[in-house]
């Protein structure tokens, strides 16, 4: 215990002496630890307007930590890193029109959120996206 007190006292003396001469400054900073962003859930809806000469509009909704960069992908090869906007704290929405030539396939939607320093988290929508060749009545 005496050694620790002597060390702290010596460090304080050196710091004060350095400050008095403008020669040394000791700065102590706590370590900053960032938690990886969390995603609670992801879902999607499809508005099929192909019978009206439109497209199939896919809307993806994701709930995650607020204030992040959010994107989604539709595999295989339908969409990559489509931007999402945060419509309220932690609720992200993005949409894309699926081209007519992409009908008749089953797709997987993957969402991701990214924090500049904490990294990226990814979630897969448990429900597949299915675009039929013909509209269903």
Please give the chain's pLDDT, 137 residues, in tens. 555 454 444 444 444 544 555 555 666 767 777 889 999 999 999 998 777 777 889 999 999 999 999 999 999 888 999 999 999 999 999 999 987 766 677 899 999 999 998 899 999 999 999 887 654 45
| Angstrom distance (rounded) from CA 105 to CA 13 | 73
Model pLDDT, residue 26? 63
Residues 67-81 have pLDDT tens digits of: 999 999 999 888 999
Radius of gyration for the alpha carbons in the chain, expressed in angstroms and rounded: 27
Are 110 and 123 spatial neighbours (Cβ–Cβ below 8 Å)?
yes
**Across all residues in the chain, what is the average pLDDT?**
81
* CATH architecture for segment(s) 39-131: Sandwich (2.60)
- Domain positions in the chain are 1-30, 39-131
Residues 81-101 have pLDDT tens digits of: 999 999 999 999 999 998 776
Model pLDDT, residue 13? 46
Question: What pTM was computed for the model?
Answer: 0.71
Are 120 and 35 spatial neighbours (Cβ–Cβ below 8 Å)?
no
């Amino acid at each position: 215990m005496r050694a620790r007190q002597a060390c702290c006292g010596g460090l304080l003396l050196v710091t004060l002496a350095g400050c008095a001469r403008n020669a040394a400054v000791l700065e102590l900073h706590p370590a900053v630890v960032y938690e990886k962003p969390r995603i609670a859930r992801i879902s999607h809806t499809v508005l099929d307007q192909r019978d009206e000469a439109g497209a199939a509009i896919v809307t993806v909704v994701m709930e995650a930590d607020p204030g992040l960069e959010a994107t989604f992908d539709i595999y295989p090869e339908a969409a990559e890193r489509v931007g999402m906007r945060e419509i309220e704290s932690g609720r992200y929405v993005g949409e894309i029109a699926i081209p007519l030539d992409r009908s008749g396939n089953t797709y997987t939607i993957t969402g991701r959120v990214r924090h500049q320093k904490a990294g990226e988290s990814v979630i897969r929508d448990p429900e597949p996206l299915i675009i039929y060749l013909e509209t269903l009545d």
